Chains A and B, each alone.
Chain A
Amino acid sequence: MKVESAEQAQADSHYRLALVELLTQLADDELCLGHRDSEWLGLAPDIEEDVAFSSIAQDEVGHAVFFYERLHELGEAEPDDLAFLRPASERKNAILVEGPNGDWAMTITRHFLYDTFDAVRIEAAEQSGYVPLAQGAAKIRREERYHQMHLHLWFTRLLSAGGEARERMERAVRHWWPRMGDLFSLGHREAEMVRLGILPWGSEEMRRRWEERIRPAFLENGLPWPGEWRIEGADGRQGEHTGDLVALIRTMSEVKETDPAARW
């Protein structure tokens, strides 16, 4: 089923709710990680990485803006208000993207694991029956390719360096792995997303495709597969979050809270 516009999507409340759910997950994931990326500005290991991470941060936040704008068209609040003024309990990002960056190995590992998932998800979104989402996804996919190439390079580079770099990478994989369960969840409206053609397939298929791409990266670097995971602790897709997100929102919204009319 093709839905060409926000007006058409709003005519069916089930369709609208399922679409809002998916767009919120997409937007919140990208905003959190984009903000974390920006925290490397001036601190990255070398100047090239400073440039790269600033650029990646700009892309991710730009993608979040695109999704928040689509939400606003569907009757949700202004994009800036969605980004800055919602409490943690209303956020749908995965737990993986809200925690602090940690060291460089932690940063690279999280980004690589997330970007691979994001690629799988954006490919699905490109086949969405909701035309505005499919069109944006087609554009975003072309940009995300660069992130994937860059992060894959770093993932391999640090692991093949051996010594302390490899130790830190192995520690990073152990740290993030149990925090990834909800990344693969599409929340409680998944069945409707698929039934209504907002997505061509569900979370099981996304996880399968993710594994298909991540396993070779583990294999080529001699990393044993850490095993299956399930959602443990908080489930971000249900609005359950850690204190890290509360602190992150406080930082992100500092300007807006101080002066709601500020322009930047």
Chain B
Amino acid sequence: MMTTTGMKRLWLALENVKDPEIPSVSIVELGMVNAVEEEGGGRVRVSLTPTFVGCPALDLIADSVRGQLTDLEGVEGVEVAYVMDPPWTSDRITPQGRRKLQEFGIAPPPSCLEVAPDCPFCGAGGGEVHNLFGPTACRAIFYCKRCHQPFEGMKPV
């Protein structure tokens, strides 16, 4: 059995796996890691949950997880599986993840999709939903009426 410190080391390494399209936010902060299990003999199994089923970054993320964990001493093999249970929802993003998204200029997901989130640039509420679809499957485009900037936000799902 891996010790608690060993487990902690694996989770810490996963913090280095960033979303390829939002390079400051890790998959842990996005709530994409469902489970990390040690299966004996240095074998590790990581269960991830996709933010969107058709996200084209899934293979890249899986490769990055394998790369980060294989580098650790004592890890002999890494298996990465995408699972649907429990499904990813935007509530799974951690408070730190929400803060980092905002710093990156992407509004963290609001509680419902009819209301625009606060502008990540000037903080004003009351913006407009400009397009339910954005540059990636998980983002929508909004417009801030105070600073007159279009901005991106994570979709609530």
Contacts and interface: CB of A to CB of B under 8 A. Distances in A.
A65 B54 contact: yes
Interface in B130-148: 130-137, 141
Nearest to A61: B54
Contacts of B52: 59, 62, 143
Interface string B106-136: 0000000100000000000000001111111
Given A135-B85, A143-B157, A66 B134 contact: no
A51 B133 contact: yes
B53 interface: yes
Interface string A43-69: 000001001101110111111011000
The size bracket of the interface on A is 20 to 34
Given A146-B113, A146-B155, A139 B133 contact: no
A58 B137 contact: yes
A55 B137 contact: yes
B89 interface: yes
A193 B55 CA distance: 30
Interface residues of B, number: 24
Contacts of A136: 53, 84
B53 A138 contact: no
A136 B52 CA distance: 11
A149 B132 contact: yes
Contacts of A132: 84
Contact of B137 (A59, A66, A145, A149): A59
B131 A48 contact: yes
Contacts of A20: none
A139 B54 contact: no
A61 B141 CA distance: 22
Interface string B44-56: 0000001011111
Give 8 closest A-B pairs by Cβ, nearest first: A62-B54, A55-B133, A135-B84, A52-B133, A139-B87, A135-B85, A142-B157, A48-B131
